[in-house]
Amino acid sequence: MAARVYLRPVAFVDAPFGLDGKVERLAGGLAWFSAVELTTIDGAARTSVELVPVEAIGDVLNRLPGDARRAWINLTAPRLPLTLGERVVRLDQPQTVGIVNATPDSFSDGGVHADAAAAADAGHAMATAGAAIVDVGGESTRPGAAPVWEGDEVQRVLPVVERLARSGTAVSIDTRKAAVMEAALAAGAAMVNDVSALSWDPRSAEVVSRAGCPVVLMHHQGTPETMQNAPRYDRPVLFEVFDWLEARIAAAETAGIDRARMVVDPGIGFGKTVQHNLQLLNGLALLHGLGCPLMLGASRKRMIGALSAEAPADRRLAGSIALALKGVEQGVQLLRVHDVPETVQALHVWRGLRDAALTPQ
């Protein structure tokens, strides 16, 4: 593999006032950065790291290859809103996506929402609490989970999707199966969230393209049955995930899906060790170079337990909030979470701090 230069925004500042030409706005959001870390990866090795002030980036870009210049354009271009049916989700500020698992065996809340009415009520409560989107899934993809037959998955999610969509809630369907996507979209879902990034089912890209709906492309390594069996990467994980997502974006574009409708997710916990996850979370801002909005799904993940005396899934709220705020500080637009009211409150406080910083004195 030829050497490649990657751009990661760093040195974030509270506000751009008085810093014309010295800072840039990240992806049209509420974060400004004053420097860029240029990392050269040659083969499997990191061969150089250079810190460049924003005010000097123009001269540096002139000597870099085209993919680095495209990454700079992507870093500084605003993200268009997502259209989910009649709902429009703005991406100039972070939004929450509530998780409704209509499954008996999800890692965090398996069985809690297995009844369609209870699942729909949970989704309504999340929307009322401030979730911009409710993400409904009928197949657990926790480590070690076995695949679910598509017929069973449809039976689990369809009544939930129908109830939520009828109430005006913006619904996403969390599935990797084309048949489930088709059924859910017909029932009122308006976005697809695929943990396989449209790679598991050969028909899935066609279904999304035909529907013209937004789609979340998530990085993964292996399958749920095997993904946590000693995951490894040949290069630093952040850059390998970047390249993998870039390839999936290109494949989706080839299938006729507009890049403006794509969201990317680094796939925390999907074929990653705790160290891999931490490295990804520390470097999230680099992924804006793909030119798509970012979704972060770190809520209640096992890494929180690993860092806090093996706290069980239902005692990981504080860690989930910490990771959510780590994401929004780096410009993440969508937070996929179990605990919507608590996350929305944290975002309100974060937004209050940002608004105060952006109010000229």
- Per the CB < 8 A criterion, the answer to whether 299 and 337 are in contact is yes
Same domain, 228 and 212: yes
Rounded to whole angstroms, the Cα distance separating 295 from 135 reads: 12
Same domain, 50 and 160: no
Rounded to whole angstroms, the Cα distance separating 79 from 30 reads: 12
Task: Dump pLDDT digits (tens) for 155-199.
Answer: 999 999 999 999 999 999 999 999 999 999 999 999 999 999 999
* Mean pLDDT along residues 334-350: 98
Q: What share of the chain is helix, strand, coil (3-state, %, to 5)?
A: 40, 20, 40
Same domain, 23 and 132: no
Same domain, 109 and 48: no
Residue 235 appears among annotated catalytic residues: no
The count of other CB atoms within 10 Å of the CB of residue 317 is 17
Same domain, 110 and 249: yes
Rounded to whole angstroms, the Cα distance separating 200 from 176 reads: 6
Same domain, 202 and 290: yes
Rounded to whole angstroms, the Cα distance separating 223 from 267 reads: 12
Same domain, 126 and 229: yes
**Residue 302 buriedness (CB in 10 A; 0-12 / 13-18 / 19+):** buried
Q: Per-residue confidence at 360, pLDDT binned at 50, 70, 90?
A: confident
| Residue 29: domain span | 4-76
pLDDT at residue 103, as a whole number: 83
Catalytic residue (choose from 8, 25, 163, 336):
336
What mean pLDDT, rounded, does the chain reach?
A: 94
Count up the domains in the chain and report the number. 2
Given a cut of 80, whether residue 283 has pLDDT beyond it is yes
pLDDT at residue 303, as a whole number: 96
Looking at the chain, the whole-number percentage of residues with pLDDT higher than 90 is 87
Rounded to whole angstroms, the Cα distance separating 157 from 138 reads: 6
pLDDT at residue 231, as a whole number: 83
Q: Distances from the Cα of 79 to the Cαs of 106, 149, 170, 257, 336, in angstroms?
A: 32, 36, 19, 16, 18
CA angle 24, 27, 32 (to 5 degrees): 35
pTM across the whole model: 0.95
Q: Which of 76, 103, 134 is the last residue of a domain?
A: 76
Residues 13-31: b if buried by 16+ CB within 10 A, e if exposed: beeeeeeeeebbbbbbbbb
Catalytic residue (choose from 301, 302, 316, 354):
301
* Mean pLDDT along residues 103-131: 80
Same domain, 234 and 319: yes
Q: Which of 76, 96, 113 is the last residue of a domain?
A: 76
Same domain, 254 and 137: yes
CATH number of the domain where residue 310 is located: 3.20.20.20
Instruction: For residue 113, give the 3-state DSSP assignment.
Output: coil
Looking at the chain, the whole-number percentage of residues with pLDDT higher than 70 is 95
pLDDT at residue 263, as a whole number: 98
Given a cut of 90, whether residue 104 has pLDDT beyond it is no
Least confident of 4-18, 93-107, 343-357: 93-107
Q: Which of 55, 76, 97 is the last residue of a domain?
A: 76
Same domain, 60 and 168: no
Same domain, 164 and 72: no
Same domain, 178 and 279: yes
Given a cut of 70, whether residue 111 has pLDDT beyond it is no
Q: Per-residue confidence at 361, pLDDT binned at 50, 70, 90?
A: confident
Residue 301 appears among annotated catalytic residues: yes
Instruction: For residue 73, give the 3-state DSSP assignment.
Output: helix
